[in-house]
Every structure is written in C-alpha cells, then in structure tokens.
Chain A
C-alpha cells in the first residue's frame, strides 16, 4: 500500500547546524506513530518541514505519493495535513469559541462569504461547541483565549486541530507543560480519535507511558538523524536507542523538560 506520508532525505540546515539530517520515513494510512528524541533533536523542525512552515534545504515530503515541495502550509492543510503547535499558537484576543469556529470555518470551506452575519452559520458554531465539549472546554467558550490557564490553552490548541478534521494529525507535544491532572483529558481525546480509526496520527511526546499506550510504532530522532523506527517493543529493546537516548533517562517516564 502507498504510504500516506513519506519523506526522502529530508534535511534542513540552520547556518552550520543540521537540525534535520536526511530523514527517510514513511507511514501507512490510519497508523499511529510517535516521535521521541531529546530536546533539540529536531522533532518540531521535522513537523515544520512536513507542514510547510519551513522549506527543506534538501529532500522532499510526499503526501499520497505526491511531492509537496510546491505547496505552502495553507495548501498542505487543505490537502489534509493538519497540525498543532508545541508553543501554543492561537488567536489571543478572540474567544475560545471563535478560535475553534475559525478552524471549523476552514473545514467547511466558508472562506469568502460576506453577505450574512457569521452568527447565522449555526452549523459552524454547533460543530465548534461539540469539539469544545470533547476537550472539556465547553464552559470556557466565551473566555478570551489569552486569559486561559496554560493547560486550557493546550486544550484549545488541540481543539483547533480537531476542528480542522484533517486526515493526518500532527501533534506536537500536546501535553507540554500541562499539570498532571489535565493530562488524562488530552490522553483520552487522543485515544478516542485513535479508536475511531479514521485518522493518521503523528505524535511528538516526552511522556513514555503515554507513547507506549498509544503508538503502533515509534521513531527516534537524535541530532536531526533518524536513529530508529519500529514497534514499541523493538524501540525499547534497541541497543542504539538505549545507549543514545533512553539509557540514563528512562525510568518509567522521560525527564520532562518542556
């Protein structure tokens, strides 16, 4: 089967520093893959290359067999590559509901409608409310995004990705900096999406128990290079991974540093 997403020698260099270094990876449709690696390994940069936020200095990304080189982040989202951001990236002065509604608006292709008031697009609001309910933010709908707690902002970030309803979900540390009580909400949301079985999911995380719980496969980035890619058992038993990365760090959970 044609992989839904594939990279060939994907690389990017910042000055002399190769943040992503000839990464070849692919994943089949409806697969759940996690990306692990120490801080600065190039995980977020890898996402930026997939989503078009950054352009590679070498190599290419393929989506359903088609090269994405000529497509901007806008077009990649429309094709079905949606992402969330590690550093919360929302519309700070709009309400939570409006933030999500903008994402739904994109999904529903309501782009140039200027005759009717946005309030009359009931379906968009309703869909946004459903999503907010999923991430337990329903009671915060009227709050201004910038006034949310950190954990709530993270939930909003994910809500916006879910609202886009893209085929591929790129999740960049959805629980980064969340308090322990809030993590299960996000874990549940991600698990539910996975169980529905119609999404391809790529997850960057540091929380090992969460990764082992969710992933069909795991890939390890180290210094921009793809160190290993395999099933959770393979990765946990992989000697290189052990030495390079898991070694001193893994004791039930990776050291949290985000």
Chain B
C-alpha cells in the first residue's frame, strides 16, 4: 500500500511537470527559451539512451555520438534529397534507426565480449572512424562545412517542433521505463552488478549487453534526427566526441541508473551552457565553459557519485526510514504510557 502511495505521488509530479511543459510555450512567449527547452528535450533523449548503457548495464562507451550522428545525417540527407515533407522526415528517422540498430548490433557483437576498457577504447576508435568517413565523403556530407537543408514546413513554427520533440521525449521515457522494469531490464542491471554471477545463473550476458547497445543506439539515432531538424543544418560535429561527453556528463551529473537523472542532467548542463556562453561575451574565460564542466564533472564524481537524482532518492529513503523509526519509537512510547 505504501509503495502504491509513493508511485502515485510520482505520477502526480510527472503530470504537473508535463502540464507545465505543455503550457510553457504559450505562457512564456520566449523564442530563446522555447528553443533551449527543445534542445534540452533532445539531449534528454540522448542522455537517457546513454544511461541504458552506462547506468543500467554498466557499459562505458566513448562512441555513442556515432549513433546520434547516423540519425542526424540520415534525416539531413534524406530531407535534402527529397521533398522536405513530414513523411520523409518520419522515414528518415526510421532509416536512421535501422542503420543505427544494425551498426550498434554489429559493434556490440564484435566488441562487447572484450574487457570493458578495451570495449571503451574500441568504441572510441570506431566512432572516430565514422567521423573520418563523414569528413571524407564530401559528395554526400559536404564534410566539415556541412550543409543546410529545409525542414518540413510545419516545423517552421518553433512551437510545433517543440511539441513534436516533447512528445518524442515522453514516449521514449515511457518506453524505456517499461523496458528497464521488464524482466529483461532487470537482467541488464544484473549484468551491471555482477556479470560473472549473472552468467553463473545461466544467462548469456553478451546477449543482454548487445541488446542494451542496440536499444541505446536506436534511441540516440532518434535524438540525432531531431537535433538535425532543430538546426536545419548538419556537419561532422554531430559525430564528435563532444556529443558523447555531453551525454556522459548529463548522465553522471543527473544520476546514473535512473531515467529521470539524465533528464535532470541535461536541464542542468544545457542551462549552464546557455548562460555561461552568454557570460562569455563579457568574460572571455567563459568561452572555455568546457573547462568548467571538467571541474563540475570531477566534483560530481567525488561528492555526488550518485548524481542529483540518486542523491535525492538516497536522502529521501534515509529520511523515510528515520521517520519510520520515529513512528515506531512513538508507538512504543504510547505503549509505555497506556497501561
């Protein structure tokens, strides 16, 4: 009974936030903030996908940007080649997802049997390779310069796009939540906690790691598609290490192993980036905001290993058990007094 109580509390919070986000673009009437929020949603999707790897399955990948990039390029190239209609947009998302799914499956199958640090290095190498391909394949990607393209007309209205991305975020969140709470999701956590024991229980852990890698790749690709449309421009930076680092940072600061964590993380990082780059106009040192993130990152790992959400949850559960102790204590006191 207590848990159902707790769950419904979270549901209410979820609904309040959702209502706020739905009302926001009408109430706030700030183009900058609408765009910033859209960006936050996109990176929330990316960070959640990264957390499936890092937080749930315990896989460190330095190549996650490649799937983001595949999605971004698939959408940019297809919208540029064909008429920029909603149909082509959706089709391009599908193409990106299929490609990313295929690549992540292959990469996962080939590399996930390796020790984790080798895997991390290999993902770095493979995504580096893809980055080079994107740079050299100029006929299609226009290399480093990139290219602009037309998005579907309906997205000319920033608010429409805002809602489209918000819908994606909510759907991805709900799907992933179901996924991590399924028996399969529990096995991802088991792999993270103790892979050898998971095997000893009779589970082929490679399968679960590959599944996590495919799910993460596919979702990252969706984020990439949305990102490309939000900029109406794409260049090789969508595949760059920065994207992976952003996802890593958001996940760690927000809290690994929860889905809300990466969302909170991307809110924090995106807002910080936004205001710090604003400050940079007056204080050039803030142009190097990445240095600040380096510092935040180190501090977070030292003082906040569970991230914002993890720390809050921990505090809550501590508070709750204290509270209950007190209740029991009070009860016992009552008993003492009653006779």
| B24 contacts partner chain A, Cβ-Cβ < 8 Å | no
| A11 contacts partner chain B, Cβ-Cβ < 8 Å | no
Residue pair B193, A91 in contact (C-beta under 8 Å) = yes
CA distance A163 to B248 in the complex (A): 37
In chain B, positions 177-230 with a C-beta closer than 8 Å to chain A are 178-179, 181-187, 189-190, 193-194, 196-205, 207, 211
Q: How many A-B residue pairs have CB under 8 A?
A: 83
Residue pair B182, A105 in contact (C-beta under 8 Å) = no
Secondary structure type dominating chain B contacts: helix
In this complex, how many residues of chain A approach chain B with their Cβ under 8 Å: the count is 35
Residues of A within 8 A of B205 (CB): 74
CA distance A89 to B181 in the complex (A): 23
| A164 contacts partner chain B, Cβ-Cβ < 8 Å | yes
In chain A, positions 160-206 with a C-beta closer than 8 Å to chain B are 160, 164
Given known contacts A113-B184, A115-B182, A102 and B202 CB-to-CB distance under 8 angstroms? no
| Closest partner residue, chain B, to A98 (CB atom) | B186
Report the minimum CB–CB distance from B216 to chain A (whole Å).
Answer: 14
Residues of A within 8 A of B196 (CB): 53, 89
CA distance A112 to B203 in the complex (A): 10
CA distance A51 to B184 in the complex (A): 24
Residues of A within 8 A of B185 (CB): 114, 118
In chain B, positions 227-255 with a C-beta closer than 8 Å to chain A are none
| A217 contacts partner chain B, Cβ-Cβ < 8 Å | no
Report the minimum CB–CB distance from A147 to chain B (whole Å).
Answer: 12
CA distance A113 to B200 in the complex (A): 20
CA distance A83 to B189 in the complex (A): 21
Residue pair A106, B199 in contact (C-beta under 8 Å) = no
Residue pair B187, A103 in contact (C-beta under 8 Å) = no
Residues of B within 8 A of A113 (CB): 182-184
| Closest partner residue, chain A, to B178 (CB atom) | A117
CA distance A85 to B205 in the complex (A): 19
CA distance A74 to B205 in the complex (A): 9
| A249 contacts partner chain B, Cβ-Cβ < 8 Å | no
Task: Give which listed residue, B190, B194, B200, contacts A73 with CB less than 8 A.
Answer: B200
Task: Give which listed residue, A74, A89, A105, A117, contacts B194 with CB less than 8 A.
Answer: A89
CA distance A112 to B179 in the complex (A): 11
Residue pair A160, B181 in contact (C-beta under 8 Å) = no
Residue pair B201, A103 in contact (C-beta under 8 Å) = yes
| Closest partner residue, chain A, to B198 (CB atom) | A102
Per-residue B-contact encoding for A98-121, CB less than 8 Å = 1, 0 else = 100111011000111111111101
CA distance A44 to B139 in the complex (A): 62
Residues of B within 8 A of A78 (CB): 202
Residue pair A91, B194 in contact (C-beta under 8 Å) = yes
Task: Give which listed residue, A102, A112, A119, contacts B181 with CB less than 8 A.
Answer: A119
Residue pair B178, A83 in contact (C-beta under 8 Å) = no
Report the minimum CB–CB distance from A127 to chain B (whole Å).
Answer: 14
Per-residue A-contact encoding for B89-131, CB less than 8 Å = 1, 0 else = 0000000000000000000000000000000000000000000
| Closest partner residue, chain B, to A93 (CB atom) | B193
Residue pair A164, B178 in contact (C-beta under 8 Å) = no
In chain A, positions 59-93 with a C-beta closer than 8 Å to chain B are 72-74, 77-78, 83, 85, 89-93
| Closest partner residue, chain B, to A76 (CB atom) | B202
| A255 contacts partner chain B, Cβ-Cβ < 8 Å | no
Residues of B within 8 A of A119 (CB): 181
Residue pair B200, A53 in contact (C-beta under 8 Å) = yes
CA distance A118 to B196 in the complex (A): 22
Residues of A within 8 A of B190 (CB): 91, 94, 102
Residues of A within 8 A of B179 (CB): 114
Report the minimum CB–CB distance from B255 to chain A (whole Å).
Answer: 14
Residue pair B200, A111 in contact (C-beta under 8 Å) = no
| Closest partner residue, chain B, to A51 (CB atom) | B200
Residues of B within 8 A of A74 (CB): 199-200, 202-205
CA distance A195 to B193 in the complex (A): 35
In chain B, positions 150-187 with a C-beta closer than 8 Å to chain A are 178-179, 181-187
Per-residue B-contact encoding for A40-53, CB less than 8 Å = 1, 0 else = 00000000000101
Given known contacts A74-B202, A77-B202, A83-B200, A118 and B194 CB-to-CB distance under 8 angstroms? no
Residues of B within 8 A of A90 (CB): 194, 197
Residues of A within 8 A of B211 (CB): 112
CA distance A105 to B185 in the complex (A): 12
| Closest partner residue, chain A, to B194 (CB atom) | A91
| Closest partner residue, chain A, to B179 (CB atom) | A114
Residues of B within 8 A of A91 (CB): 189-190, 193-194, 197
Residue pair A106, B189 in contact (C-beta under 8 Å) = no
Residues of B within 8 A of A102 (CB): 186-187, 190, 198, 201
Residues of A within 8 A of B203 (CB): 74, 106, 111
Report the minimum CB–CB distance from A253 to chain B (whole Å).
Answer: 30
Residue pair A106, B193 in contact (C-beta under 8 Å) = no
Residues of B within 8 A of A105 (CB): 183, 186-187
CA distance A23 to B10 in the complex (A): 59
Report the minimum CB–CB distance from B44 to chain A (whole Å).
Answer: 22
CA distance A77 to B199 in the complex (A): 9
Residue pair A77, B193 in contact (C-beta under 8 Å) = no
Report the minimum CB–CB distance from A250 to chain B (whole Å).
Answer: 33
Residues of A within 8 A of B194 (CB): 89-92
> Could you list some 7 contacts between A and B, CB below 8 A?
A74-B200, A85-B200, A90-B194, A91-B190, A101-B186, A160-B201, A164-B201
Q: Which B residues form the contact surface with A (CB < 8 A)?
A: 178-179, 181-187, 189-190, 193-194, 196-205, 207, 211
Q: What are the 4 tightest A-B residue pairs by CB atom distance, in nearest-first order?
A: A77-B202, A91-B193, A114-B184, A114-B182
